[in-house]
Each structure stands twice: as structure tokens, then as C-alpha cells.
Amino acid sequence: MKEELIIKAKEILEANFQEGGFTIPCQGLYPFQWKWDSGFIAIGLAYYNIKNAKREIETLLNAQWENGFIPHIVFHNDSDTYFPGADFHKSELHPLASKEYRSTGMAQPPVTGFVLQKMLNIAEDKEDMLQFIDTQIDKVFENHKYFYQHRDIHNEGLVYIYHNWESGTDNSPIWDDIWKTMDPPKYSFERRDTTHVDPSQRPSKREYDYYLHIIEIAKEHNYDDAKIAELSPFLVQDPLFNAMLIKSNAALIDLYEKLGNNKEKVSQLKKWQEKSIKGFNAKLYDAELGAYVHYDLRNNKPIRFISSSSFAPLYAGIPDMERAKQMVNTMMEKFGGEDKYLCASFDPTSDRFNPKKYWRGPVWINLNWILFYGLKSYGFTKIAERVKQDSIELVEKEGFYEYFDSRKEIRKTEAGGYGGNNFSWSAALLIDLINN
């Protein structure tokens, strides 16, 4: 059965691979290259097609801006099946944007550092992979430098995101109170996502108004970071985003040390790392909830809800053992009942939980993958194993969907795979999970 899953996963990745040397997340729904998708995809590819795994990283990093920024979507190709596309985002407004590739003007979780490390672990020919990493690693370093220089406005070691699409967890209920502070115009535009996916599984029209409005503000100021920090109604320190940065810092330190002769960069990374872990633990841990939470920088307050992002810091070794135990208790109490698959993307006991809608409840394979390794590294082997088995079972039962219903009982009457089907990172990360 596992062999069949792997064969199917490879078929999906092959079908989604594009001539330009990159992989789309899903046909129709997401026809371009996305930043964190690309990283997860390269991990899966590394098991059987090193050449394409490398190209995946290269094609993403080729679109880096002169200031180190790496965009969340690279529009290598034209496609009218997605909104908003290149003509809406207009990355060319920023003076340092890539002149060769059009893109968005926003980021996504910085996974590329730990992806390179993972590719080295997977590759059989280590020497060859290290040589490849040597050609790419400085770009990732420059990207981290960009974050620390431009997005840590209070010098706390914590970087902000200015848009929910930067978080990767796009319509999480975490953002609901921020939307209440905004009153954007009702834009007229043609949604494309809802022609591919049942609208009950996607964000609402009004939510899209908020999303577009933040971009309009950024565009008015040519995507200038300082202006965005001053004016964006959405300015958040996200525990998932910052944990990915910290995990990638650690990976870059390890890789630079393996490559040798990079003392200055290593020492810079260690400084960032120490400060970030300290700032993270001091500011984002909510002892009462027993988990890490988001912080709303614009409105100066913690956003006190638990989501799967709250547990991502385990993957970056951020909590001490005592906190890690508290987090696991919280996770098992709220998300881990026998009637549920691990791990819902939002607190199933909250009245904001929606089991079918995008990031408001469903299980996502990439977050499960992050949790699997995080739990394992702290010695929570049994729970880690359950996260892995639940992920495999969901895909076996439903197919390689984008997200899944966490409630087991609904399977008696209906299917529980939602969003796009033949979804690339579900395929890529399943290959890695099965191999670990």
C-alpha cells in the first residue's frame, strides 16, 4: 500500500512539474511557483530526482530581489486561472525587484534554509549536494539579512508579516479581529479559486477585500518596507513564520560550517539566532494557554488563540522541555481526542473553528510534517508517530488533497478531503514521512 502511495505521489509531482523547471502546487487552482510550497516539494523530489529538486530551488532563488527579498509567488508563466496575478501585484513598483521575473511583493515562511539541509540529509552523493548548496546558500543568507534589517522594527529578534498571505495560513481565525479594525472598499474583481473549489471551503468575498486592500496600501508606497511597517493595518509577529526563520538559521549555521571558510556569516547567524530565540520565548509564549501565540504589532496586543502554528516552535527547538510538555498537553487536550485526526489547523474547541474551511480548522500535511519532526526531536515519539500515521491514513482514504477534515465520524457519510486535489506538497511530504 505504501509503495502505491509513493508511486501516486511521484506521478503528481511529475504532472505538476513545469517546463521552466519549477512545480506548481496544484493544477488550475495554483498555476505558479509558490515559495514555501517549492521548499516542501524539493524535499520530496530529493528522494528520487535530485536534478529537479535542485532546479526547484534554483528557479525560486533566481527570482530574488536585489535587497535579498524572496517573493511568495514567482510568475514564471502566464495563466489566467488565478487571481490576483502579476498585473495586480505589480512587483516592478519596488526599485530593487527582480527585473527578470514578475512576482508578488510579499514573502512566505522562510523554509529554504532547512530545506537545503534536509536535501543534504536525503542525497546519497553528499559531495555533489554540498557543491550545489554552496552555489545557493548565500542567497538564503541574504534573505535572512533582509528580514532582520527590515522587518524587526523594535530590534527584538522577531520579524513581522504584513499580510495574511505571508503567513501561509491565510484565512485563519487569528486574523478575524484585525479585519474588524479595517473597513476596505468592496472591490469588484473576478475570483478564480471558487471556480476550482467549493466556495464553502475557501475564504469569503469580504475576506478577499481585506487581502486586496493591504496590497493596495503597500503598492501606493511601492512596497517600501518602512512605509509598510508604518501604515499596514496588518502587522503581526507570527510564531510559525519566526519558527521557520529560526529553524533555517540553525540549518544555515550547520551548512556553512560544513562548507568551511564562512566564519563571519556563521557568527552573524549565531547572533541573530540567540536574540530570536530569546525574544520569541519572552514575547510569544502564553503560559495560561500553554502554547505560543501571535502578537498584533499594529494594535499592540497578543492574539490569544491556539492554532497548529502555536506548536511549530517545537520544530525549531525553541521551548525548553517544561514548556514543550505544556504544549503537548494543550495539543492533546484540545486537538488530540480519539475521534479526531491530528492536527487541526485551528483550536477545535473554539467557536471560530470551521472543519471544512481552508485554514479555519482542516488538517494540512505541511503543518503535520513540521509537528512530526518537532515532537520527535523532544522525545514525544508516540504522538509524533500518530501525527505521521494520521497523515498517511488521511491521504490513503481521501487522496492527495490540499486539506482534510479532522473529524473522523464524518467519513461515515461524506468524503473529508478538501481544496485542491493532486496537491504537490501533500505528495512530496508524504514521500518523506513514509521514509522516516
> Rule CB under 6 A: which residues touch ligand 9WN?
25, 30, 34, 36-37, 165, 168, 170, 193
Q: Of the listed 58, 134, 138, 170, which one is catalytic?
A: 170
Question: In which residue are the cell numbers 493595518 written?
Answer: 233
For residues 309-326, one letter each, b for 16 or more C-beta atoms within 10 angstroms of the residue's C-beta and e for the rest, the string is: bbbbbbbbbbbeeebbeb
Min dist. Cβ of residue 124 to ligand 9WN (A): 29
Active site residue 393: no
170 in catalytic set:
yes
Cβ-based nearer residue to ligand 9WN, 80 or 127: 80
DSSP string, 230-269: HH-S--EE-HHHHHHHHHHHHHHHHHHHHH-S-HHHHHHH
* Closer residue to ligand 9WN in complex, CB, 25/313: 25
Least CB distance to ligand 9WN at residue 25 (A) = 3
Report the residue number, 170 or 176, with the smaller CB distance to ligand 9WN: 170
Closest distance of CB 36 from ligand 9WN, Å: 6
Please name every residue paired with 103 in a beta bridge, in sequence order, or none if there are none.
Answer: 74
- Residue number with CB closer to ligand 9WN (50 or 243): 243
CB 410 within 8 A of CB 394: no
CB of 34 to ligand 9WN, least distance (A): 4
| Local structure of 345: helix, strand or coil | coil
Q: Which is nearer to ligand 9WN, 194 or 326 (CB)?
A: 194
Q: Which of 398, 402, 405, 432 is catalytic?
A: 402
Pairing of strands 294-296, 236-237: antiparallel
Whole-number minimum distance, CB 88 to ligand 9WN, in Å? 12
User: Which residue lies nearest ligand 9WN, judged by its C-beta?
Assistant: 25
3-state helix, strand, coil in the chain (%, to 5): 55, 10, 35
Distance CA 435, CA 6 (A): 10
**Residue numbers annotated as active site:** 170, 402
